[in-house]
Chain A
Amino acid sequence: MRTRVEMLQFYREPLQVFFGFAFPIVLFAIFATIFDQSWTMPDGTEVKTSTYYLAGMIAAAVMTSGFQSTAEIIATERDDRTLRRLAVSPMPRSAYLLGKVVLVLINTTLQTALLLVVARMLFDVPMPHQVLTFAWVLLLGTAAATAAGVAFASALPSGRAAIAAATPITVVLSFFSGSYIPMSELPTWLQHLGYVFPQAWIARGLRVSLLPEQFGQEIEIAPFGLSDMPVLPLAALVLTAWLVVMLVLARTTFRWSPRDAG
Chain B
Amino acid sequence: MTSTSPQTTPLPTEMPPPALTVSRLTKSYAGRRVVDDISLTVPRGWIFGLLGPNGAGKTTTIEMCEGLRRPDAGTIDVLGMDPQRLCEKDRNRLGIVAQSGSERASLTVREMVAQYAAYCEDPWDVTELLAATGLAEKAASRIATLSGGQRRRLDVALGIVAQPELVFLDEPTTGFDPAARREFWELVRSLRDLGTTIVLTSHYLDEIEYLADSVAVIRAGRIVAEGTLSQIHRTHGDSATVSWTGPDGPQRRTVPDPDPLLRELLAAHPHLPDLEVRRPSLEEIYLDLVSEESR
Interface residues of A in 35-94 (CB under 8 A from B): 76-77, 80-82, 84-85, 87-93
Distance in angstroms between the alpha carbons of A84 and B120 in the assembled complex: 17
Q: Select one of A2, A77, A257 contacting B104, CB under 8 A.
A: A77
Closest Cβ–Cβ distance, residue B213 to chain A (whole Å) = 25
Number of interface residues of A (CB under 8 A): 24
Over the window 94-137 of chain B, the binary record of Cβ atoms lying under 8 Å from chain A Cβ atoms (1 yes, 0 no) is 10101101111011000100011011110000000000000000
Closest Cβ–Cβ distance, residue B121 to chain A (whole Å) = 7
Q: Is A90 a contact of B66 with CB atoms below 8 Å?
A: no
Contacts of B68 in A (CB 8 A): 84, 87-88, 257
Contacts of A93 in B (CB 8 A): 88
Distance in angstroms between the alpha carbons of A262 and B94 in the assembled complex: 21
Q: Is B92 a contact of A13 with CB atoms below 8 Å?
A: no
Q: Is A89 a contact of B91 with CB atoms below 8 Å?
A: yes
Q: Is B118 a contact of A1 with CB atoms below 8 Å?
A: yes
How many residue pairs at the A-B interface have CB separations less than 8 Å? 71
Closest Cβ–Cβ distance, residue A20 to chain B (whole Å) = 14
- A9: CB under 8 A from chain B? yes
Closest to B96 in A: A88
Taking each of B60, B67, B88, B111, which has the highest tally of chain A beta carbons within 10 Å of its own beta carbon?
Answer: B88
Contacts of B101 in A (CB 8 A): 80-82, 84-85
- A172: CB under 8 A from chain B? no
Q: Is B106 a contact of A12 with CB atoms below 8 Å?
A: yes
Q: Is A84 a contact of B98 with CB atoms below 8 Å?
A: yes
- B218: CB under 8 A from chain A? no
Number of interface residues of B (CB under 8 A): 28
A8 touching B107 in the complex, CB below 8 Å, given contacts A1-B118, A89-B116 = yes
- A5: CB under 8 A from chain B? yes
Contacts of B67 in A (CB 8 A): 88
Q: Is A85 a contact of B88 with CB atoms below 8 Å?
A: no
Interface residues of A in 223-262 (CB under 8 A from B): 257, 262
Interface residues of B in 31-82 (CB under 8 A from A): 59-60, 66-68
Q: Is A9 a contact of B106 with CB atoms below 8 Å?
A: yes
Q: Is A82 a contact of B104 with CB atoms below 8 Å?
A: yes
A5 touching B158 in the complex, CB below 8 Å, given contacts A85-B98, A89-B91, A90-B91 = no
Closest to B155 in A: A85
Q: Select one of A9, A82, A90, A262 contacting B59, CB under 8 A.
A: A262
- B162: CB under 8 A from chain A? yes
- B263: CB under 8 A from chain A? no
- Pick the 7 closest A-B CB pairs, nearest first: A12-B106, A91-B119, A90-B91, A1-B118, A81-B101, A88-B96, A80-B102
- For this complex, 26 residue pairs linking A to B, each with C-beta atoms less than 8 Å apart, are A1-B118, A5-B107, A5-B111, A5-B115, A8-B106, A8-B107, A8-B111, A9-B106, A9-B107, A12-B107, A76-B104, A77-B104, A80-B102, A82-B103, A82-B104, A84-B101, A85-B98, A87-B68, A88-B68, A89-B120, A89-B162, A90-B162, A91-B116, A92-B88, A92-B119, A93-B88
Chain B interface (Cβ < 8 Å from any Cβ of A): 59-60, 66-68, 88-89, 91-92, 94, 96, 98-99, 101-104, 106-107, 111, 115-116, 118-121, 158, 162
